[in-house]
Amino acid sequence: MNNITRRGFTLGALAGVPVLAGCGNGVGSRGPQKIDARVDATVNYLYSNYPNTRTLADKSAGMLVMPLMTEAGFGFGGGYGRGALRINDTTVDYYSATKGSFGLQIGAQQFAHVLFFMTEDALQGFRRSSGWAAGADIEYVFRDVAENLRAETTTSIAPVVAVIFGQAGLLAGVSLEGMKYTRIIP
């Protein structure tokens, strides 16, 4: 993943705000109950459609569930969603994810993702940060291979495993992007 400037990230994120506001992705949600309900539904969907992720969750120190990320782009792009950090199946914090991008791109899409923190150090590093940016220490697993996911191999590869699934829409092009997670009070 290439680095982008703060200005590029901010402009990209702001470019998508008008589109994102009407997409039902948690912008202006009515509080933690709505986020928790979406997280529960997302986790149930994940476990029923990708059964091996349950083993991954059992081995993880915690998981950040982002039930609905919405992103749109036309040159500049942005994305936003809200979710919850769960430790031992209990919500301990709420987070927003903001995504900015710049490049040759057009379209919009929605997806869900879950970050599995495979080590206590990775989880504590995430929780201590004022804003955590996704980086090179994440192993990505997309929906077409998530069913074949094996917790034993991924835990030795990366301290954080991201499972991305439920994509809908079309976003085409080539872009530089980054995602930042920030603790919120819903």
Higher pLDDT: 20 or 55? It is 55
Kindly state whether residue 78 falls inside one of the protein's structural domains.
yes
Kindly state whether residue 74 falls inside one of the protein's structural domains.
yes
Kindly state whether residue 114 falls inside one of the protein's structural domains.
yes
In the predicted structure, residue 32 carries a pLDDT above the cut 60: yes
Task: Measure the CA–CA gap between 186 and 184, rounded to whole angstroms.
Answer: 6
Q: What's the average model confidence in pLDDT over 25-49? A: 84
Per-residue confidence band for 65, with pLDDT thresholds at 50, 70 and 90: very high
Chain centroid, CA 164 distance in Å:
8
Range of the domain at 73: 6-184
Kindly state whether residue 1 falls inside one of the protein's structural domains.
no
Tell me the pLDDT of the chain averaged across its residues: 77
Close Cβ partners of 115 (under 8 Å, ≥ 6 residues apart): 63, 64, 66, 138, 160, 161, 162
Kindly state whether residue 127 falls inside one of the protein's structural domains.
yes
Lowest mean per-residue pLDDT among 6-15, 37-46, 52-61, 117-126: 6-15
Per-residue confidence band for 79, with pLDDT thresholds at 50, 70 and 90: very high
| Total tally of structural domains belonging to the chain | 1
Contact (CB, 8 A) for 166 and 143: yes
In the predicted structure, residue 29 carries a pLDDT above the cut 80: no
pTM value > 0.85 = no
In the predicted structure, residue 42 carries a pLDDT above the cut 90: yes
